[in-house]
């Protein structure tokens, strides 16, 4: 299991815009304690990679 904070740190490392990071975090469904499955984490990281590499 990963956390929303893990996701936030990954997005920051990819130099994603801070407002986009917070919007993304707000949209991600977690278990209520900030935990997400590894599958969801990996899918979102893939999306971040796609967005940040096309800039």
Domain assignments of the chain as residue spans, ordered by start: 2-53
Angle between helices 4-13 and 38-53 (to 10 degrees): 20
Q: Per residue of the chain (55 residues), give pLDDT as tens.
A: 999 999 999 999 999 999 999 999 999 999 999 999 999 999 999 999 998 887 5
List the Cα angle 24/27/29 in 5-degree steps: 120
The pLDDT assigned to 55 comes to 55
The DSSP 8-state label assigned to residue 30 in this structure reads: -
Tokens of 30: 């977690």
């Amino acid at each position: 299991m990963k956390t929303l904070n893990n996701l936030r740190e990954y997005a920051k490392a990819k130099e994603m815009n801070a407002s986009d990071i917070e919007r993304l975090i707000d949209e991600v469904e977690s278990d209520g304690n900030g935990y997400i499955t590894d599958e969801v984490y990996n899918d979102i990281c893939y999306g971040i990679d796609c967005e940040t590499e096309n800039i």
